[in-house]
Amino acid sequence: MIDTPVVRAPSAIVYCEGNFAKIDGKTANGLVRHSQAYRIHSVIDSDKAGQDSGLVLDGTANHIPLFCDLETAVCSGIEVPDTLIYGMAPSTGKLSAKDREVILGAIAYGMNIVSGLHEFLSDDPEITEAAKVGDVSIRDIRKPRPAKDMRLFDGSVSRVNAICIAVMGTDCAIGKRTTATVLAGALNAKGVKTVLVGTGQTGLMQGARHGIAMDAIPPQFCCGELERAIVEAADTETPDVILIEGQGALSHPAFCTSAFILRGSQPDAVILQHAPKRAHRCDFPDMAMPTPSSEIALIEAFSDTKVIGVTLNHEGMADEEIDAAIARYSDQLDLPVTDALARPVYDLVSMVRDAFPVLQPSRSSKRL
């Protein structure tokens, strides 16, 4: 018998200066919670240096430390980590002068670079020249395939046998990807084969096997490129459930991605994520948040689908406030409501199983 060598995921430092555990640090936040593609070595944020990132983010230690700068992070271990990941999602989508220094510093240490910015680092002459000299790679997560290779929507998603569920939201950076990731893990643990299709840079960095960065695709091809990812996931993995990560909000005037996700995925159902304490849209202080009921009405009017439940982002909420919000929205909406991080994962699984009885252990031939 020949032993197959174990290939370890590359190690990575996540750069999130001044933004860890904040909205613009959502990429770093997601990576310390879950990452299949990289072993997260540490996070850079001088505001929180010396602390455990898990304790800062969720109140539970994960032994991924926060450091003040790149040099301290690199010198904290025996070996230089393989990769520097740009772990922020600024509204500009561009690199600052300070960020550039850190990127060039990481290249000088021999680290590969991974970025989810709209500004492609592989097109930057200074950075690409440094990477060439240092013999390191630059991976722009949002860089789409050439237009000649993109495809238009053709309706093939209608032939997918898996149950397709989109996780939408009432705002951007509200926890849609986190809820989808938790739900995918929980369903798989129960024997319901589930695949998550990523639609943003963080999900792809975390290791989603299928997906695209929706907001970097020309609008004409958005629905077709997402359809391609879903069909590929169905054909190659034959799952029971396909979860589609949402982006933005259908009601948000600054983003169109939710519309493309609903059109391209033709979901059988939608789970809606909402933050009860968020007073206004992220980065739009004069734009009030919609109510879950108004967002649900809009989603169901726009697409031939049904919202099967609501999940909460508990930012700014005490535990008793979460209970009160769950009870209030359950009564108002006549839907199951839970919190993917603060309440038992069983509640999230039940939301899906109750909507699709075929997934129930007693009524399915699958091993549940």
Q: Which residues pair with 280 in a beta bridge?
A: 288
Determine the Cα–Cα distance for residues 88 and 198; give it in Å rounded to an integer: 17
DSSP H helices, 238-318, are 257-265, 292-302
pLDDT on residue 92: 74
Which positions ≥6 away from 222 have C-beta within 8 Å?
A: 214, 257, 260, 264
pLDDT of residue 94: 81
d(Cα 309, Cα 276) in Å, to the nearest integer?
15
CA angle at 175 for the pair 160 and 308, rounded to the nearest 5°: 50
pLDDT tens, residue by residue, 55-86: 999 999 999 999 999 999 999 988 999 999 99
What is the per-residue pLDDT for 89?
84
Higher pLDDT, 367 or 192: 192
> Is 127 buried (19+), middle (13-18) or exposed (0-12) by CB count in 10 A?
buried
What pLDDT, on a 0 to 100 scale, did the predictor assign at position 2? 55
C-alpha–C-alpha distance, residues 20 and 345, integer Å: 25
Helix %, strand %, coil % of the chain (to 5): 40, 20, 40
For 30-47, the pLDDT digits (tens) are 999 999 899 999 999 999
Dist CA 65 CA 167 (whole Å): 31
pLDDT tens for 217-234 read: 999 999 999 999 999 999
pLDDT, one tens digit per residue, over 124-172 is: 999 999 999 999 999 999 999 999 999 999 999 999 999 999 999 999 9
Closest CA to 34 of 53, 15, 8: 53
Q: Distance between CA 241 and CA 356 in Å, rounded?
A: 10
pTM: 0.88
Tens of pLDDT, residue by residue over 252-280, are: 999 899 999 999 999 999 999 999 999 99
13, 39 contact by CB (below 8 A): no
With cut-offs at 50, 70 and 90, classify the pLDDT of residue 3.
low
Q: 363 pLDDT exceeds 90?
A: no
Q: In this structure, is the dihedral angle defined by the CA atoms of residues 150, 154, 156 and 157, taken in order, positive or negative?
A: positive
pLDDT score, position 140: 96
Question: How many residues are there in the chain?
Answer: 368
pLDDT at site 5: 55
